[in-house]
């Protein structure tokens, strides 16, 4: 009788310890793993002669951190960002820089609708 109680108490203590450990480590890796980039993402975009570079690349980004679009274009236009809410970014002919922030994690397509092309897919986490 007494022995059974001791075993149950030990099991309960072990279970509690494991739960506390795993919940503690969930929050850890994110900030630590991303510290090298300082949270900022830069995408260099070239639009020339009806083609766009890059074209459908995956780019890692972070929720709430700046995503800088460095745009070189041979015409003015508009970039459509399929975030929630969606964003439209006007750019002039020539070189320009635009900064986005994405508020929710997920895959966000960044498109040039005039060319009907996906420029990058932001993998936001
Ligand atoms: Cu779009």
- 12-16: average pLDDT: 47
Q: How far is the CA of 37 from the centre of ligand 1 (A)?
A: 27
- Number of domain units in the chain: 2
Going from the C-alpha of 45 to that of each of 19, 57, 81, the distances in angstroms are 46, 11, 14
Co-location of 7 and 67 in the same domain:
no
Å from CA of 13 to ligand 1 middle? 53
Contact 110, 82 (CB under 8 A): yes
> What pLDDT sits at residue 39?
79
What distance in angstroms lies between residue 30's CA and the mean position of ligand 1's atoms?
A: 29
Query: For position 43, which CATH number holds?
Result: 2.60.40.420
Same domain, 16 and 43: no
Residue 64 and residue 13 in one domain: no
Distance 26 CA to ligand 1 centre (A): 34
- Same domain, residue pair 41 and 25: no
Q: Note the pLDDT tens digit of each residue in 69-102.
A: 999 999 999 999 999 999 999 999 999 999 999 9
- Separation CA 50–CA 95 (nearest Å): 16
Cβ neighbours, 10 Å, residue 12: 10
Range of the domain at 83: 37-124
Residue 80 CA, ligand 1 centroid: distance in Å: 5
Distance 109 CA to ligand 1 centre (A): 7
- What is the enclosing helix (H) or strand (E) of 39? none
Span from the CA of 79 to the centroid of ligand 1 (angstroms)? 8
pLDDT, tens only, 27-85: 333 343 333 457 799 999 999 999 999 999 999 999 999 999 999 999 999 999 999 99
Ligand 1 centre from 36 Cα, in Å? 31
Could you count the other beta carbons within 10 Å of the beta carbon of residue 82?
15
């Amino acid at each position: 009788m007494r022995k059974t109680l001791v075993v149950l108490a030990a099991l309960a203590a072990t279970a509690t310890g494991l739960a506390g450990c795993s919940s503690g480590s969930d929050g850890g890796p994110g900030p630590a793993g991303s510290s090298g980039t300082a949270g900022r993402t830069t995408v260099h975009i070239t639009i020339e002669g009806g083609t766009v570079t890059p074209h459908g690349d995956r780019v890692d980004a972070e929720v709430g951190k700046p995503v800088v679009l460095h745009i070189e274009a041979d015409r003015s236009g508009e970039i459509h960002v399929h975030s929630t809410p969606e964003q439209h970014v006007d750019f002039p002919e020539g070189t320009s820089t635009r900064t986005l922030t994405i508020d929710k994690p997920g895959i966000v397509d960044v498109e040039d609708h005039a060319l009907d092309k996906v420029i990058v897919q932001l993998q936001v986490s």
